[in-house]
Amino acid sequence: MTTDLPFSQACENNKAPILEVLRDAFESTARVLEVGTGTGQHAVHFARALPHLQWQPSDHPDAAHLSRLRLEQAGLPNLLPILNLDVGASPWPITGFDGAFSANTAHIMAWPEVEQMFQGIGNRLTLNGAFCLYGPFSYQGSFTSDSNRQFDQHLRARAPQMGIRDLDDLNQLARAEGLLLESDVAMPANNRLLVFRSTGTGG
């Protein structure tokens, strides 16, 4: 019997361009924490392509079931089972990691949760570790496309706490956690991949 796994077409479309950036950002990384794993398609793809590192997927306890079967079926030695992690939980159920990744989470989380994500990662990421954050972002209040503006309106109509985040606000959060923006890479469909590097002064 086959089971249909939860599936995201967007993940299929963006996993290759994201991987090209992760290859450099995580070149000498041993252990990556992924926040908000969703269907697990990114986790499987990146763990398979980057066998030198261990990939730790995680998600909010209400969503962790979405990826469980796909992660198990992948059978990859460097891909760990899904970890229950609500970024608002204290303490986080994980301590050290030298890389972090999160895709399409900052516009779904409420702003205080975005702050908690940066705090939790900034406090635990080892010196020179990279935090790679993928998604749509605005720049000094301006959207990079009409489709992103419409997406932001759609999100805020669905739930007022959601919305596309501005790079200036994220950067301010990041700096407070000892994370410096190293690169901001254009991705397909008007998305970006932000790479922050830890200066080891978080928390």
Which residues contribute to the site for ligand SAM (CB under 6 A)? 8, 11, 35-38, 59-60, 63, 85-88, 103-105, 108-109, 113
CA-CA distances (angstroms) from residue 144 to 157, 183, 200? 20, 17, 32
User: Of all residues in this chain, which one has the CB nearest to ligand SAM in the complex?
Assistant: 38
Spatial CB neighbours of 53, under 8 Å, sequence gap ≥ 6: 26, 29, 30, 31, 32, 47, 78, 99
Copy the structure tokens of residue 112.
């205080």
**Which DSSP string do the residues of 39-70 spell out, in sequence order?**
TSHHHHHHHHH-TTSEEEEEE-TTTTHHHHHH
In this complex, which beta carbon is closest to ligand SAM, that of residue 10 or of residue 199? 10
Q: Looking at the DSSP assignment, which residues form a beta bridge with residue 100?
A: 33, 131
CB of 12 to ligand SAM, least distance (A): 10
In this complex, which beta carbon is closest to ligand SAM, that of residue 63 or of residue 69? 63
Amino acid (1-letter code) at residue 96: G
- Strands of the sheet containing 191-198, edge to edge, are 83-84, 54-59, 31-35, 97-103, 125-135, 191-198, 179-187
CB of 187 to ligand SAM, least distance (A): 12
In this complex, which beta carbon is closest to ligand SAM, that of residue 114 or of residue 179? 114
CB of 129 to ligand SAM, least distance (A): 19
In this complex, which beta carbon is closest to ligand SAM, that of residue 95 or of residue 140? 95
CB of 8 to ligand SAM, least distance (A): 5
CB of 159 to ligand SAM, least distance (A): 11
Closest CA to 125 of 182, 198, 34, 54: 198
In this complex, which beta carbon is closest to ligand SAM, that of residue 35 or of residue 174? 35
Copy the structure tokens of residue 87.
């970024």
